[in-house]
């Protein structure tokens, strides 16, 4: 009989501890989400040696895509990114492709040249961009940033081209 009472007390105690942990984790993620509404002031160096900061691109919408040469979905998405760049770059859109840390640099450079990518490609050798824009759960991940530097959309997986065109058009007009 005493053992059952102790078990119930222990179960209730663990339940309370679990509830407190869930509340703490929820608060942490809410703070993280609110903090990550604005893009980090990041310095980029492209595979061609060009350097620029995200802050220097403020007043323009920016589409950042995290990708890998080993990601089949990422490769299928490249024509849509090229189309977006050709359609909206003359109006101010910038696209930055960030290759994941596990992606061999020689493959990234070769694919960039092979596909003749018109937008800057950056290597994330130390995962500094993944940390800055994180969490990045998988590839492709697209992050759309408005003219004020606020993250207006984050998409894990393939984006719908017409939806992205509409979002970019709204940012260009706004």
What is residue 174's predicted lDDT score, i.e. its pLDDT?
80
What is residue 18's predicted lDDT score, i.e. its pLDDT?
59
Assigned CATH for 43-173: 3.40.30.10
Element counts in the chain: helices (H) and strands (E): 5, 7
Query: Tens place of pLDDT for every residue, the chain, 174 residues?
Result: 555 555 555 666 656 665 555 556 654 454 444 444 777 889 999 999 999 999 999 899 999 999 999 999 999 999 999 999 999 999 999 999 999 999 999 999 999 999 999 999 999 999 999 999 988 989 999 999 999 999 999 999 999 999 999 999 999 998
What is residue 13's predicted lDDT score, i.e. its pLDDT?
64
What is residue 39's predicted lDDT score, i.e. its pLDDT?
77
Asked if 121 contacts 46 with a C-beta cutoff of 8 angstroms, the reply is yes
Most distant CA atoms of the chain, gap in Å: 78
CB atoms within 10 A of CB 84: 20
Domains of the chain, by residue range, sit at 1-35, 43-173
Is the preceding peptide bond at 149 cis, omega within 30 degrees of 0? no
CB atoms within 10 A of CB 78: 17
State which H helix or E strand residue 82 sits in.
helix 72-88
List strands edge to edge, sheet with 151-156: 121-123, 94-99, 62-67, 141-145, 151-156
- The predicted model scores a pTM of 0.79
What is residue 150's predicted lDDT score, i.e. its pLDDT?
94
């Amino acid at each position: 009989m005493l053992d059952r009472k102790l078990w119930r007390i222990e179960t209730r105690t663990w339940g309370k501890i679990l509830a407190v942990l869930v509340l703490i984790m929820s608060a942490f993620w809410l703070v993280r989400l609110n903090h990550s509404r604005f893009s980090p002031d990041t310095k980029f160096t492209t595979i061609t040696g060009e350097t620029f900061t995200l802050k220097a691109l403020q007043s323009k919408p920016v589409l950042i895509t995290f990708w890998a040469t080993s990601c089949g979905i990422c490769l299928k998405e490249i024509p849509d990114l090229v189309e977006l760049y050709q359609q909206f770059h003359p109006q101010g859109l910038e696209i930055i492709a960030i290759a994941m840390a596990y992606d061999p640099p020689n493959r990234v450079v070769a694919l960039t040249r092979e596909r003749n990518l018109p937008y800057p490609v950056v290597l994330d050798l130390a995962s500094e961009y993944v940390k800055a824009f994180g969490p990045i759960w998988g590839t492709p991940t697209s992050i759309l940033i408005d003219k004020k530097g606020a993250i207006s959309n984050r998409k894990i997986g393939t984006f719908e081209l017409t939806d992205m065109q509409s979002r970019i058009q709204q940012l260009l007009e706004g």
